């Protein structure tokens, strides 16, 4: 069972005829994802990897019953594409684009919440249930790193995700559902909002969170653990611990303001809530085994 995408999820790809959309469509199909349609205005009647292309999301949904969408569109068009998908009734949306204007991202998040939908991203690698389906840009060698199993992973990072997941796999574990929330300053879905889904998922026995300095999302997870919203074992790695104090580092989400968002503060909050925090990616799997074994 997945918390977001299943084998029978009917996936639509917006921007399918572009260079990124067409390239990743091949890989998304290759893992077994049920892609039922693509959308690019003005390209109706074409096919990409034998997937029919439509002019509008509404028509694609009417003819294929698509219920999830992954967007390969430029940042300036992301908001309109999300709104079009929401208007057509789609409740699961993944936005790959990096650098979406902050006000657009805020409007996307607000619209998703009002529609009871979940928008993941932007600036994300996407989501994957290994061996089942994916909506994103995970590399072609994905099957060698992402094995099926019962460890959930949620992450703000791209490259760190592959490294930490490899360490989890090396200890004999596998992945149930991986959710990349994205690295922009305003993610459309925050870490803590995934916790109830992982808590209810019988296939997820424990959770690994890959965080970074900046923002308060990791502290929100600690608060949810202390409130009993999430009760399963949790191990975290927080990137950015060597960043010089007072400096803005990395992408838009990695900004420390007003004394909040430091790695030290996140580690303290998580450990107080009962999580284990790795001081380097290579020990994440070992800590997970230690926590699960009591």
Q: Is the peptide bond before 249 cis (omega within 30 degrees of 0)?
A: no
Asked whether 173 and 165 are in contact (CB, 8 A), the reply is no
The CATH fold of domain 147-294: Rossmann fold (3.40.50)
Predicted local distance difference test score (pLDDT) of residue 242: 63
Beta-sheet strand order (sheet of 126-129) = 133-136, 126-129, 175-180, 148-155, 206-212, 234-239, 276-278
* Closest C-alpha to 188, from 127, 123, 128, 248: 123
Asked whether 188 and 112 are in contact (CB, 8 A), the reply is yes
Among all residues, which ones are annotated catalytic?
251
**DSSP, res 127:** E
Predicted local distance difference test score (pLDDT) of residue 61: 98
The total number of residues shown for the chain amounts to 294
Render pLDDT for 123-177 as a digit per residue (tens, 0 to 9). Answer: 999 999 998 999 999 876 666 678 899 999 999 988 789 899 999 999 999 999 9
**Predicted TM-score of the model (pTM):** 0.93
Predicted local distance difference test score (pLDDT) of residue 208: 98
- Could you tell me the CA-to-CA distances from 129 to 102, 151, 179 in Å, in that order? 29, 11, 9
Predicted local distance difference test score (pLDDT) of residue 148: 92
Predicted local distance difference test score (pLDDT) of residue 101: 96
Q: Which two tokens stand for residue 286?
A: 């070992």
Evaluate whether the domain defined by 1-124 bears CATH number 3.40.50.720. yes
Render pLDDT for 210-219 as a digit per residue (tens, 0 to 9). Answer: 999 888 999 9
Give the Cα separation of 197 and 230 in Å (integer). Answer: 9
* Residue ranges of domains in the chain: 1-124, 147-294
The continuous run of DSSP H or E covering 12 comes out as: strand 11-14
**DSSP, res 72:** -
Give the Cα separation of 154 and 207 in Å (integer). Answer: 8
Predicted local distance difference test score (pLDDT) of residue 293: 85
Give the Cα separation of 15 and 21 in Å (integer). Answer: 6
Give the mean pLDDT of the chain: 92
Give the Cα separation of 115 and 87 in Å (integer). Answer: 9
Query: Which residues of the chain are modeled with pLDDT < 50?
Result: none
Q: Do domains 1-124 and 147-294 have the same CATH topology?
A: yes
Give me the residues paired with residue 70 across strands: 13, 94
Give me the residues paired with residue 234 across strands: 207
Give me the residues paired with residue 278 across strands: 237
């Amino acid at each position: 069972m997945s918390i977001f995408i299943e084998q029978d999820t009917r996936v639509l790809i917006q921007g399918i005829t572009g260079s990124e959309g067409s390239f990743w469509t091949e890989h998304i199909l290759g893992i077994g994802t049920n892609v039922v349609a693509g959308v690019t205005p003005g390209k109706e009647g074409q096919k990409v990897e034998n997937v029919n292309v439509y002019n509008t999301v509404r028509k694609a949904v009417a003819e294929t019953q698509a219920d999830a969408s992954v967007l390969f569109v430029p940042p300036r068009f992301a908001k309109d594409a999300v709104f079009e998908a929401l208007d057509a009734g789609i409740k699961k949306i993944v936005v790959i684009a990096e650098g979406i204007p902050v006000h657009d991202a805020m409007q996307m998040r607000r619209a998703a919440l009002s529609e009871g939908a979940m928008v993941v991203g932007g600036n994300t690698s996407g989501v994957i249930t290994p061996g089942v389906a994916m909506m994103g840009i995970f590399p072609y060698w994905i099957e060698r790193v992402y094995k099926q199993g019962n460890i959930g992973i949620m992450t703000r990072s791209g490259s760190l995700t592959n490294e930490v997941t490899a360490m989890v796999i090396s200890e004999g574990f596998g992945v149930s559902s991986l959710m990349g929330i994205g690295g922009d300053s305003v993610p459309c879905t925050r870490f803590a909002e995934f916790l109830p889904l992982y808590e209810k998922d019988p296939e997820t026995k424990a959770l690994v969170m890959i965080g970074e300095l900046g923002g308060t999302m990791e502290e929100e997870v600690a608060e949810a653990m202390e409130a009993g919203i999430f009760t399963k074992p949790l191990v975290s790695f927080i990137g950015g611990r060597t960043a010089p104090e007072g400096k803005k580092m990395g992408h838009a989400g990695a900004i420390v303001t007003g004394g909040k968002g430091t790695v030290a503060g996140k580690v303290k909050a998580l450990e107080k809530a009962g999580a284990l925090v790795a001081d380097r990616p290579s020990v994440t799997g070992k800590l997970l085994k230690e926590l699960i074994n009591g």
